Amino acid sequence: MPAAVLRRAVLALLAVAALLVVSGCSVVVLGRPSAADPPPDDADPGRVDVVGAVDGPIDLLARNALADLEDYWAEQFPDVFGARFDPLAGGYFSVDPADVDPAVYPQGVGCGTDPREVEDNAFYCSAPQAPHSDSISYDRTFLAELADGYGRFIPALVMAHEFGHAVQARVGSPPTSIATETQADCFAGAWTAWVAEGRATHSQIREPELDQLLRGYLLLRDPVGTGTDEQQAHGSYFDRVSAFQEGFDDGPVACRDRFGPDRVFTQGEFTTDEDFLSGGNAPYGTIEQIVETSLPEFWDRAFTEVLDDRFTAPQLEPFRGQAPGCATDDVDLVYCPPGDGTGDAGLVGYDEQDLIGPAYESLGDYAVPTAVAIPYALAARDQLGLSAEGDEALRSAVCLAGWYSAQVYNGELTNVVISPGDLDESVQFLLEYGNDPQVLGATDVSGFQLVDLFRGGFLEGARACDVGV
């Protein structure tokens, strides 16, 4: 039968090395705060005047973030851009679009906009001749909805993103909308790392909130199938999360330097009506064929071309509810080393009933290769004489799953290409299932760290993945 194909709007085949260099197989380490730390002091309203603000949690979180953003950029801007940071001249505006008192906003909000037009939005205004230029405006009811679903830090993240646009207004923006928006995400990530290190006076984030934060980005991505050249393009889920984590890991200098015209984005358009109607999802049976053929091909080439060894494909065994007897734990993704019943190269198993089927239905088709690629990478590590157990092995395997996905994305594997939104499904899978003890066993690796590791493998390849390259 014909080889299985996942369709996507094909960008030109691009070398992974052309993307950018990341921090590799690293683990995010947060400093203060911990659960035992006292809450930070709130910013004085006299220091940060937010027009229209009320005595509520969202405006308080926004004010605290804005005060800390002013401090952060006053500190960082001279080192990164060689000049003093001038505070925003146009101010800050909070709006409840359903309850607007025109007397509070006599000239509107940013750019003179009618406050009711801020509904479900936040924006930075940089029109020099407009009222309230160089300002940030936001719908506090919208931010409250985001915070209810994705954690109390989301309003601060939105402020940090918009503040990133204020930075761009002072130094220049990248050439396209998608680069401009993701660079602002990168600036937001750099500031968030500063907060996570315990250096902010008024804002605070704890490690579990980083997972929530990345989940929130799903709501902020462009619709799947949006082209990179759209006038208001912001980026795919993977593009935006990747930019945020790049700033978090590498700081504002990376944000300054890595968003030029050569930057590659994974967002793409659907090329056929069939793809549009299916959302780019192939039938489950097709996905199984892709897993069965692409993973052995990838690892055979990886061993031959990069790792200087020979690879023998392990057995691949789907199961329903009960892990194979060779498994030491009853988990949904299994690697069993060579032995009785597992052959000379071991066995990789995946639970169709409790994991793979539900992930396919709820997240999309590429969640399946993402999932199976992780225990398959453990099999590859075992053949290289490396550990296949514990958190270090898991971190490496997730990174290697990212390397595999880069080769799928670049069209390097036989008759397999990737659809718009598929890499978004990888991020979703890792956040939803990656540190569930039922999936890969108990682990201290957070969802945020798993996504960062996958991103490292995707962008940098084997050298990021702790396999001796």
> Of the ranges 4-13, 157-166, 316-325, which one carries the lowest mean pLDDT score?
4-13
- Give the distance from CA 295 to its chain's centroid: 24
Identify whether the C-beta of residue 429 lies closer than 8 Å to the C-beta of residue 368. Answer: no
Q: Map residue 318 onto helix, strand or coil.
A: strand
Hey, what's the torsion of the CAs at 407, 409, 412, 417, to 10 degrees?
130
Q: What is the DSSP letter of 355?
A: I
User: Which residue, among 235, 285, 296, has the nearest Cα to 424 in the 3D structure?
Assistant: 235
> Of the ranges 20-34, 44-58, 133-147, which one carries the lowest mean pLDDT score?
20-34
The pLDDT of residue 465: 98
**Quick one: pLDDT band at residue 1, thresholds 50, 70, 90?**
very low
Cα–Cα dist 156/293, whole Å: 45
**Quick one: pLDDT band at residue 125, thresholds 50, 70, 90?**
very high
The pLDDT of residue 60: 97
The stretch 334-346 carries a mean pLDDT of 89
The pLDDT of residue 402: 98
CA torsion through residues 118, 121, 126, 127, sign: negative
pLDDT digit string (tens) for 137-160?
Answer: 999 999 999 999 999 999 999 999
Q: Map residue 92 onto helix, strand or coil.
A: strand
| Mean pLDDT rounded to a whole number for the chain | 87
Q: What is the DSSP letter of 333?
A: E
Cα–Cα dist 240/115, whole Å: 27
Kindly provide the b/e burial profile for residues 375-411, where b requires at least 16 CB atoms within 10 angstroms of the residue's own CB: bbbbbbbbbeeeebeeeebbbbbbbbbbbbbbbbbbb
Side chain identity, residue 122: A
> Of the ranges 1-5, 147-151, 434-438, which one carries the lowest mean pLDDT score?
1-5
**Quick one: pLDDT band at residue 25, thresholds 50, 70, 90?**
very low
Cβ neighbours of 110 (radius 10 Å): 28
* DSSP E strands, 324-421: 333-336, 347-351
User: Which residue, among 188, 200, 186, has the nearest Cα to 157 in the 3D structure?
Assistant: 188
The pLDDT of residue 5: 30
Identify whether the C-beta of residue 298 lies closer than 8 Å to the C-beta of residue 308. Answer: no
**pTM across the whole model:** 0.88
Express as a percent the part of the chain with pLDDT over 70: 86
Cα–Cα dist 66/43, whole Å: 9
- Comparison of pLDDT for 301 and 20, the residue scoring more: 301
pLDDT digit string (tens) for 195-236?
Answer: 999 999 999 999 889 999 999 887 776 665 566 666 666 788
Cα–Cα dist 430/428, whole Å: 6
Half-sphere exposure of 268 (CA within 13 A, CB side): 24
Identify whether the C-beta of residue 425 lies closer than 8 Å to the C-beta of residue 364. Answer: yes
